[in-house]
Structure 1
Amino acid sequence: MELSQLPDATLVQHYRRGNEYALEVLIKRHQAKIFGFIFSKLDDVELTNDIFQDTFIKVINTLKTGKYNEEGKFISWVMRIAHNLIMDHYRREKRTVIHNDTEQTPFFSFLKDDSDTVEELLIQNQITEDLQQLILELPEDQQEVIRMRLYQDLSFKEIAEATDVSINTALGRMRYAIINLRRMLEKKQISLSI
């Protein structure tokens, strides 16, 4: 079987065993989606190229040092890296708005303005950490749809295709995930607002 026909997890294993071409296949397979995701947040081709390259430098370093944890899908992991690099960029630049933020991501209203106090930034970081911990307590299928929707900015159609379920199933999982998150917030008396 040709490398281009192998699933992501198998290509990762090939790359970790020294087959450099396996990584090239992975990059080509996912570059449009990753590049599009980064560009949708930055709206700057040059900066998008830089962050795209930084993303894969991190991917390569993590794979080569053996620190890659094969839980979940490769593309989800790469998208998380890209998302974190975008956040790092905005923190460095002290920018206040993430372009094209969607109404479906109300949990993440990062940095309202650059007059935030250190205390407000610490609270925002705590809110993000609390939410991430709560997401880990959800059933795996609900965690997956939350990550793809909130962190990767995928449409429900893309989520349905990636997880091999109907759009209604993807929407249902998201609905139950939100219901479960609300219950956990109430039970643990956690607030996601400043």
Structure 2
Amino acid sequence: MENIYTIWKDVYKNLEFMLATDVKDKEARKDLLHDIFLKIHANITSLKSHEKLLPWVRSITRNVIADHYRAGKKNVFVSEVPDIASPDEDYLNDKIISCVMPMIDQLDDKYREAILLSELKGIKQKEIASNLNISFSGAKSRVQRGRKKLKEMILQCCEIEADVYGNIIDYSKRERCATNCPPSKK
């Protein structure tokens, strides 16, 4: 059995990784990390099983990050750090994210937040509705409209070739695109 120090050290490393993918400002990350550990400490008695510690902590982390965005604190999205991506992701899927993140940043606040939470964080739309204090149908509408607007921006800027599974095979930047996309591997 692992000792408590080892367990919390692993939790800390996971939290640092999650925050680094969302918040560029180191000071903001430190503040959020502090808030997360305070919430963990305050609610540890609600954890039913120690095997579910990491998912429970991830849930708290997602909520703290959502609260941070909702509070209107200065937030900087990490579009310049594609090397944090996990090694099992496809090369071009990783590369194109550096093109898509500036486009996401151009969306209206309500659509940007919905897209970040649903598409990049993988949060279910019911949870998004709860986090944003809006109805479920309102959350669905924001995600759908955000996807539509983002798709229009992408198609105006890039020609994308995908396989039947939706994985990007190749892409090229259109001349009228202002986004600084890296070249494809071809």
Shorter-normalised TM range: 0.3 to 0.5
TM-score (norm 1): 0.45
Looking at secondary structure, tell me which structure has more helix per residue: 1
Looking at secondary structure, tell me which structure has more strand per residue: 2
